Amino acid sequence: MNDKVIINDLTFYYGNNSAVKNVNIRVQENSVLALIGPSGCGKSTLIRCINRMNDIIPATRTEGDILIDGGSIYADKYNVSDLRRRVGMVFQKSNPFPKSVFENIAYGLKINGIKNKYDIETRVEKSLKGAALWDEVKDRLDDSALGLSGGQQQRLCIARTIAIEPEIILMDEPASALDPISTQKIEELIQDLKAKYTIIIVTHNMQQAARISDFTAFMYMGNLIEINNTEAIFTKPGLEMTENYVTGKFG
């Protein structure tokens, strides 16, 4: 399998504090990588480096490099908008725009140059089906997205992300604010999405990481402690620290 994303000796600073320290990770194409670790260990900061979302935070600095399909995303004059089209992101708290369900998805298409009304309608429907939301919202496409339930809003955010057909999807604890049934739907969705996308997901839920991911990386205090295939991390971790964390002895 190809390495879709290669994180090379990445260090990220907020001011003078490094939140991510010399991290090296390779992510295979069409796999799911779960990032686990206690709060504040740098998981979220790390995935926000992959679509350069941290650029909008002032007084931050990045060292090292991230390659996607072999090309550096920190290269001079690299177009950040293009990067974010290729690397979609789903946030911890569902954040639909205060617009209609339809417009929430159409917005991403329009700003990416798709003007044809028929194309937009087709892709809105396709992405809603892709996010397993179509049946629930097909009769209320013109209603405000803020009227949807929390789980539906989060799936709408996933639909919005896959509508512009990225190659990689970053998920920052996408199910942490949801009830068990909504969480299950999101997890099933991630399994389906793996066929087309490379997924990197941050999660605090060990069972979730074990269920949905192919590979798991354990981080602590900004350092990558251990990375392996998920089964190995959860059944025979290489380090005692990892074992203590995945079995709930600390964290």
Partner 1 sequence: MKHLNRKIIYDIILSKFFFIVGLSCLIILFIIMLFLFIEGIPVLNHVSLTDFIFGTSWYPTSDHARFGILPLISASAAVTLLASLLAVPFSLAIAIYLSELAGNLIREIIKPVIEIIASIPSVIIGFFGMVVVAPFLQNNFDLDTGLNLFNAALMLAFMAVPTIASICEDAISSVPASLKEASYALGANRWQTIYHITVPAALSGIWTAIILGISRVIGETMVVLMVAGGAAIIPLSIFDPVRPLTSNIAAEMAEAAVGGPHYRALFAIGIILFIITFIFNIIADYLSGKYKFKEG
Query: Applying CB under 8 A, does 25 fall inside the site for partner 1?
Result: no
What tokens does 201 get?
């997901």
- Nearer to partner 1 among residue 174 and residue 237 (C-beta): 174
Tell me the backbone φ, ψ of residue 138, rounded to 5 degrees.
Answer: -60, -25
Query: Applying CB under 8 A, does 123 fall inside the site for partner 1?
Result: no
Q: What secondary structure does DSSP assign to 40-99, as a single string?
A: TSSHHHHHHHHTTGGGGSSSEEEEEEEEETTEETTSTT--HHHHHHHEEEE-SS----SS
Judged by CB under 8 A, the residue of 18, 44, 127, 153 near partner 1 is: 153
d(CA 31, CA 213): 8
Query: Applying CB under 8 A, does 27 fall inside the site for partner 1?
Result: no
Query: Applying CB under 8 A, does 46 fall inside the site for partner 1?
Result: no
d(CA 217, CA 21): 14
- Nearer to partner 1 among residue 100 and residue 213 (C-beta): 100
Tell me the window of 20-28, 69-77, 80-88, 204-212 that interacts with partner 1 (CB under 8 A): 80-88
Query: Applying CB under 8 A, does 155 fall inside the site for partner 1?
Result: no
Query: Applying CB under 8 A, does 84 fall inside the site for partner 1?
Result: yes
**Could you give the C-alpha distances from 173 to 71, 82, 85, in angstroms and in order?**
27, 24, 20
Binding site for partner 1 (CB under 8 A): 51, 53, 56, 81-82, 84-85, 88-89, 91, 93-99, 107-108, 111-112, 145-146, 150, 153, 157, 160-161, 164
